[in-house]
Structure 1
Amino acid sequence: MDEKVVRYKKNSNDIHVLPPSPYTEVPKPNVRREKLSVENEETIQTKKKLEKTKKNFLFDPRRKTFLGRSSLNWARLAAFYTVFYFCLGMFFVILLYVFALILDREVPTYYNKDSTMAVRTTATVVGMGFRPQPMVDDSLIRVSNDLYEQKRIASSLRLYRDVYLIQKTDAKAEPCTELDPASELVPGTACSFSWFDIVSTQDHPCSDNNMYGFKHEEPCVLVKLNKVYGWTPTKGPLPIHIQGLRNIHNNKSIAKPDVYITCDGTNPSDRDAQTEMVYYSLEKPSGSSKYGVIPNYYFPYRNARDHVQPFVLVQFKNLPLHRLISITCRAWSPGIEHETRGMRGMVAFQLYRSQVAEKLIKDDN
């Protein structure tokens, strides 16, 4: 409908209606505002529907469902999974039981060359260990004149000795010799061997009375081979390093290949700082300055309950003060390979000697 302009004449009652001017702008409706209002209404309605859907999903009062399931449906589901997991667990237990029945508790299924030990080498990997080792992840042995430190580290070695290096009176063990080696023992029987076969008296430098050498700052370190089932030193020529120590120079195969233990500084600087060493072993319980020996007739290890792993005690004398020395001990035998990266046939540890000031010692006393 066209807009008309109404005008009034002054001092007159006549009203004149004028036609609209062609230059007058007709106001247009705000389309954008109307569109936004419609969109807002739709958004609000959508949010309300979502909230209602969430509430109904958690709990729908009309259908009486929780998370989309009725109480009866939940009960059936719980019963099904209870029976399912119970049967699955019983199946797993039965498999373990059958596996335990067919598994030999004394002899491993795969060992030595048939095991993963021989994957990257032609020989069985023989590892070594040392004691005392107060911390499992630490290879540092502290030597000090502090009485508390001496007792602490001596107690660590004493505990290891009492648990692993002393056979009980009722132990199932027999003496092993060159004529009666461990390979001829009845299964379950061990060789007679104990800590006291090497440290026979309390006057021994590595005795408990001397705190295993720590009392006089001359520590005794126990070096041993790890237990490897069925491993026996193989026949062959004596290692060149041991030939030099024994003044034997030939490449003939030896009939009785013993295992020799030697220790030396890891680096040239360690060898320069290294001082006198004494090896106490079954061959020479009184001590040797060249090497220690583990007799061949104590092998193989066959998982006997009362087995005591043979060892060598290495005493370090006149250690320099406030100097960290890295020591590497090696086992020598025709069938033992040495590899530094994997520590095959060797073991490494550090020695550090320090002294507490006299005033502090008096205060502690």
Structure 2
Amino acid sequence: MADTEIEQKPHAPVAISTIPENPTVGEVESEAASKKLKDAKKAKVSSDKPKKNLVQGFTNFFYNPRMKTVFGRSSLNWAKLAAFYTVFYFCLGCFFVGLLYIFAFSLNEHEPRYYNEESTMAIRTTATVVGMGFRPQPRVDDNLIVVSNDPDQQARIASSLRLYRDVYLVQGNDAKTENCTAEEPASELPESTACLFNWFHIVNTDNHPCSDNNMYGFKKEQPCVLVKLNKVYGWTPLAGHLPENIQELRGIRTQESRGSRTKKTGPVSDVYITCDGTNPADRDVLNDIVYYSLDKPSGSTKYGAIPNYYFPYRNARDHVQPFVLVQFKNLPIDRLISVTCKVWAPNIEHDTRAMRGMTSFQLYRTHPNEKSDNNDD
């Protein structure tokens, strides 16, 4: 049998695929960790981008090198803005000064435009509000006056009253003053002229109980308290019915006629000042009070009086407001006493809540030196 040739056809290429081996647990975890790291980097880049843009925005707001601007404005823009506001505020200032000058030119240097019943002082009342004050007052926010046997404490409280006297109650030799009398009252004085009156018209000797030598009474634990009226321009006591208590103290009796509240007749009243305990318990221990005033510089146990011809106050530079010195004797030890002083005149009203026509302070007498001695024993 003859050999037969067998024609072999070329075989088509066969795709060989490799079957991967089963992955281990470590490889799976490594691949997951790598994916998380890539995600974290992408998140960080995306979060840092707004911060960078914000910082860049602030930097460009302060100064933009590309636009050559500061705070969003160029140098020319800033120059125009500065020129505008310079002119604007200059014109505004001139307008304000002009109005202020016109207002000041229309005012009187010595007399206010509205005062007494025409001013707000007469709101809700038929009379001008007259206030009072007292000295010494070492602390402006406290009305306590301590009376002590301690020499240092006595010197401190006396220095407070001395300072007030030297500043407000003394008239210099060059003061523009004239004597005021019933025939020539303060209302008849020339403009800028004050009545001749100062501290030494009442405390006229070195032996006076309220003199410097006696430390205004504190040296003997009998303090002298200065009680005064506040300065109210144009106010003067009027003629009319005196209060009942003043009539009793003066030993006189007047009848108030019908309609006398609207029509005042008779002589003009003086101004009277009295002091007493605020509460009944305080009145029981305040039984020895002496008043030193223009009416009686030597002292009175009934009241202090200021003559009516020392009013009104006219805004004179050298004016000293008339006052009364009230001396309290025989004060009890270690007892706080509340004192209320009132001013009396026909056209003065009292209001305890608003402290109109009155003033109030407290007295406290103590002996700290004796207490310290007892503690040492």
Shorter chain as normaliser: what TM range?
A: 0.7 to 0.9
For the residues of structure 1 that align with 2:234 and 2:16, how far apart are their CA atoms?
Answer: 130
Task: Say which SS state the counterpart of residue 58 (structure 2) adopts.
Answer: helix
Q: Cα–Cα, structure 1 residues 38 and 84, in superposed 2: closer, same or farther, change >3 Å?
A: same
Equivalent residue for 1:255?
267
CA deviations on 1:81-123 (whole Å, 9 max, x unpaired) are 2232232223222222222222211000110011110112111
Runs of 4+ in 1 over 6 A off after TM superposition: 14-17, 35-42
**Aligned: 1:279 with 2:279:** no
Which residue identity is paired with 1:95? L
Which residue identity is paired with 2:110? E
Decide whether the 8 Å contact of 1:140 with 1:349 is kept in 2.
yes
For the residues of structure 2 that align with 1:103 and 1:156, how far apart are their CA atoms?
Answer: 36
**Residue among 127, 131, 136 paired with 1:127:** 131
**Residue among 188, 195, 202 paired with 2:199:** 195
Instruction: Normalising by structure 1, report the TM-score.
Output: 0.84
**Aligned: 1:110 with 2:114:** yes
For the residues of structure 2 that align with 1:153 and 1:326, how far apart are their CA atoms?
Answer: 18
**Aligned: 1:326 with 2:341:** no
Task: Say which SS state the counterpart of residue 160 (structure 1) adopts.
Answer: helix
Equivalent residue for 2:10?
none
After TM superposition, give the deviation of residue 49 of structure 1 in Å. 4.0
Q: Cα–Cα, structure 1 residues 151 and 58, in superposed 2: closer, same or farther, change >3 Å?
A: same
Equivalent residue for 1:219?
223
Instruction: Normalising by structure 2, report the TM-score.
Output: 0.82
Q: Cα–Cα, structure 1 residues 110 and 127, in superposed 2: closer, same or farther, change >3 Å?
A: same
**Residue among 69, 72, 79 paired with 2:76:** 72
Q: Cα–Cα, structure 1 residues 138 and 16, in superposed 2: closer, same or farther, change >3 Å?
A: closer
CA deviations on 1:255-292 (whole Å, 9 max, x unpaired) are 13011100011111211232310001111111111111
Q: Cα–Cα, structure 1 residues 193 and 48, in superposed 2: closer, same or farther, change >3 Å?
A: closer
**Aligned: 1:175 with 2:179:** yes
**Residue among 88, 110, 115 paired with 2:92:** 88
Please provide the CA RMSD for this pair.
2.6
After TM superposition, give the deviation of residue 42 of structure 1 in Å. 6.5
Which residue identity is paired with 2:203? V
**Residue among 257, 271, 277 paired with 1:265:** 277
**Residue among 300, 304, 318 paired with 1:306:** 318
Equivalent residue for 1:356?
368
For the residues of structure 1 that align with 2:45 and 2:172, how far apart are their CA atoms?
Answer: 90
Q: Cα–Cα, structure 1 residues 44 and 144, in superposed 2: closer, same or farther, change >3 Å?
A: closer
For the residues of structure 1 that align with 2:281 and 2:132, how far apart are their CA atoms?
Answer: 24
**Residue among 306, 309, 320 paired with 1:297:** 309
**Aligned: 1:157 with 2:169:** no
Task: Say which SS state the counterpart of residue 236 (structure 1) adopts.
Answer: coil
**Residue among 288, 306, 322 paired with 2:300:** 288
Decide whether the 8 Å contact of 2:150 with 2:369 is kept in 1.
no
Decide whether the 8 Å contact of 1:112 with 1:229 is kept in 2.
yes
Equivalent residue for 2:243?
239
Decide whether the 8 Å contact of 1:227 with 1:309 is kept in 2.
yes
Which residue identity is paired with 2:309? Y
For the residues of structure 2 that align with 1:293 and 1:39, how far apart are their CA atoms?
Answer: 93
Q: Cα–Cα, structure 1 residues 238 and 72, in superposed 2: closer, same or farther, change >3 Å?
A: same
Decide whether the 8 Å contact of 2:240 with 2:268 is kept in 1.
no
After TM superposition, give the deviation of residue 43 of structure 1 in Å. 5.8
For the residues of structure 2 that align with 1:94 and 1:158, how far apart are their CA atoms?
Answer: 45
For the residues of structure 2 that align with 1:119 and 1:256, how far apart are their CA atoms?
Answer: 24
For the residues of structure 1 that align with 2:333 and 2:178, how far apart are their CA atoms?
Answer: 45
**Aligned: 1:98 with 2:110:** no
Task: Say which SS state the counterpart of residue 76 (structure 2) adopts.
Answer: helix
Q: Cα–Cα, structure 1 residues 323 and 359, in superposed 2: closer, same or farther, change >3 Å?
A: closer
After TM superposition, give the deviation of residue 148 of structure 1 in Å. 1.0
Decide whether the 8 Å contact of 1:238 with 1:254 is kept in 2.
no
After TM superposition, give the deviation of residue 40 of structure 1 in Å. 8.2
Task: Say which SS state the counterpart of residue 264 (structure 1) adopts.
Answer: strand
For the residues of structure 1 that align with 2:76 and 2:15, how far apart are their CA atoms?
Answer: 85
Larger Rg: 2
After TM superposition, give the deviation of residue 237 of structure 1 in Å. 0.6
Moved more, 164-173 or 284-293: 164-173
For the residues of structure 2 that align with 1:208 and 1:52, how far apart are their CA atoms?
Answer: 77
After TM superposition, give the deviation of residue 254 of structure 1 in Å. 4.5
Which residue identity is paired with 2:58? K
Equivalent residue for 1:59?
63
**Runs (5+) with no aligned partner, structure 2:** 1-13, 18-35, 257-264
Q: Cα–Cα, structure 1 residues 182 and 42, in superposed 2: closer, same or farther, change >3 Å?
A: same
For the residues of structure 2 that align with 1:70 and 1:353, how far apart are their CA atoms?
Answer: 76
After TM superposition, give the deviation of residue 136 of structure 1 in Å. 1.6
Q: Cα–Cα, structure 1 residues 38 and 224, in superposed 2: closer, same or farther, change >3 Å?
A: same
Task: Say which SS state the counterpart of residue 357 (structure 1) adopts.
Answer: helix
After TM superposition, give the deviation of residue 243 of structure 1 in Å. 1.4
Task: Say which SS state the counterpart of residue 158 (structure 2) adopts.
Answer: helix
Which residue identity is paired with 1:292? G
Which residue identity is paired with 1:339? D
